[in-house]
Structure 1
Amino acid sequence: MITKTYVKSRKMWNVTFAVPEKELPEGIKVEQLNLVGSFNNWDNSAIPMKYIKRSKTWKTSVYLPPESKAQFRYIINRQHWLNDFHADGYAPNAMGSENCVVTLPQAPV
């Protein structure tokens, strides 16, 4: 799930990425989940996600500029790539699969 909240003081969108435990692949014990994307030069350790026991969901947030698009994926235990079923779209990548796309609208008036 992806939620977008405009933060007027920063003139940026606060984008929260959430992956419910039920959307993770079966058979993989998730010890670490990271958000990786064009906004962090695809560094697979730069943005760790936090596991929230109460909701059984992995979450993290980043600030992204209005009127922009960013490509992203999740990586499990630095080995297994995962796409978000709730992405705004998908784009082919050089590895023969697809990256997720999040699209940010203009700032609200």
Structure 2
Amino acid sequence: MLLKKTFEDEEAISEVTFSLPNQVEADSIHVVGSFNDWDESAHAMQRQEDGSWTLDVKLDAGKIYEFRYLINGTDWYNDPDAEGYTPNPHGTENCLLST
């Protein structure tokens, strides 16, 4: 995964680009996390021409968020390049993202 962050100073907003490589086979991928109240359909990634997946999200700057990828509505996937991980109530871990 590639996380790209840009900051808009006057609004205290960080734009984050979530990206997964074209090796991820899926019909749909959603980014699900604390920034969208774990809504499994709120943030759908878009497949690019090269087969990779991307999503741009504007988040409040200066915060730490938890997230995971939901593939095809059934399979949870953690980002191997996340900034960190934290245990979740389901016996697995969530990825950490700081803005």
Distance in 2 separating the partners of 1:71 and 1:32: 20
Distance in 1 separating the partners of 2:55 and 2:11: 18
Give the Å deviation of 1:11.
2.3
Query: Is residue 37 from structure 1 mapped to residue 33 from structure 2 by the alignment?
Result: yes
**Number of aligned positions between the proteins:** 98
Corresponding residue for residue 49 of structure 2? 53
Q: Percent identity?
A: 37
Corresponding residue for residue 72 of structure 1? 67
Q: Supply the AA of the counterpart residue of 2:75.
A: H
Give the Å deviation of 1:95.
0.3
Distance in 2 separating the partners of 1:86 and 1:2: 8
Give the Å deviation of 1:21.
2.1
RMSD: 1.2
Q: Supply the AA of the counterpart residue of 1:5.
A: T
Equivalences for residues 3-18 of structure 1 within 5 A: 3-18=4-19
Moved segments of 4+, more than 4 Å: none
Distance in 1 separating the partners of 2:10 and 2:44: 25
Which blocks of at least 5 consecutive residues in structure 2 are unaligned? none
Which blocks of at least 5 consecutive residues in structure 1 are unaligned? 105-109
Q: What TM-score does the superposition give when structure 2 sets the normalisation length?
A: 0.92
Distance in 2 separating the partners of 1:31 and 1:44: 15
Corresponding residue for residue 90 of structure 1? 85
Q: What TM-score does the superposition give when structure 1 sets the normalisation length?
A: 0.84
Computing the radius of gyration from Cα coordinates, the structure with the larger value is: 1
| Counterpart secondary structure, 2:35 | helix
